[in-house]
Amino acid sequence: MEKNIIITGGSRGIGAATALLAAEQGYNVGITYREQEAAAHAIVTQINQKDGKAVAVQMDVSKEADIVHAFTQFDKQLGRVTALVNNAGTLKQGRVVDTSAAYLEQLFATNVIGSFICAREAIKRMSTARGGQGGGIVNVSSIAARLGSANEYVDYAATKGAIDTFTIGLAKEVIDEGIRVNAVRPGLIHTDIHTSGGEPGRIERLKNSLPMKRGGYPEEVARAILWLLSDDASYSTGVLLDVSGGR
């Protein structure tokens, strides 16, 4: 079976690392990006220059029409998806007392609803009940779902708590259709999400609170994602795998 993977938010960080590793493991790779067009195409070029196959499609994961369009494009350019990584997400550092309904609506649309709709589109193509050959979904959650992230990201943590529940429920819903659904929960990982969230030095400030005394790297999360999608994890579904330095 040809292996075709779609990775949302694949232009940087964990998404980019997952795209590169997936290509090394024989996947045809489709990545989405919202704004980082140059970075996305740099990942595509890197894969294609090594005799892999990769394409990038612009998509705002908070918009259903964008998601449907992107999956249609991947159908044409890659073929039927066999693996989905729901990685795209956003956050902003702050306290609950200072948040707004408008921000929460956008946050949940991006981090939660977008993952639901991407999964919906993948299931339509993967499900053995719909003529597919099965497949795998990995949701990128966060250790924040378990810790709560008080005084920093309670709203973001809540979206990831929703992703954890979504993962467990969906895994039970589609296993009879040949689809396994799991999640990784990264901790402090060296990506620019901390900068975009408001504190570039966050890992340095917090690393000594971790048993491993260091931040993690995108490649370490990517290896966990690809393992969960592989046949080596064939008896695992509904799993929440922490990649968090022991936290």
> Is 14 within 8 Å of 191 (Cβ atoms)?
yes
Residue type at 150? Answer: A
pLDDT (tens place) for every residue of the chain, 247 residues total: 799 999 999 999 999 999 999 999 999 999 999 999 999 999 999 999 999 999 999 999 999 999 999 999 999 999 999 999 999 999 999 999 999 999 999 999 999 999 999 999 999 999 999 999 999 999 999 999 999 999 999 999 999 999 999 999 999 999 999 999 999 999 999 887 656 656 777 888 888 888 889 989 999 999 999 999 999 999 999 999 999 998 8
Distance (Å, rounded) from C-alpha 5 to C-alpha 26? Answer: 10
Q: pTM here? A: 0.95
Distance (Å, rounded) from C-alpha 136 to C-alpha 230? Answer: 8
Per-residue model confidence (pLDDT) at position 99: 96
Distance (Å, rounded) from C-alpha 123 to C-alpha 133? Answer: 10
**Could you give the residue numbers annotated as active site?**
156
Tell which phi-psi region holds residue 135, choosing left (phi > 0), alpha (psi between -120 and 50) or beta: left
Per-residue model confidence (pLDDT) at position 113: 98
Q: Which helix (H) or strand (E) holds 193?
A: helix 193-197
Per-residue model confidence (pLDDT) at position 127: 98
For tokens 């595509």, what's the residue?
44
Per-residue model confidence (pLDDT) at position 194: 59
For tokens 């990264």, what's the residue?
186
Domains belonging to the chain, first-starting first, are 4-243 (3.40.50.720)
The alpha carbon of residue 23 and the mean position of all alpha carbons in its chain are separated, in whole angstroms, by 16
Tokens for 124, please give them. 């339509």
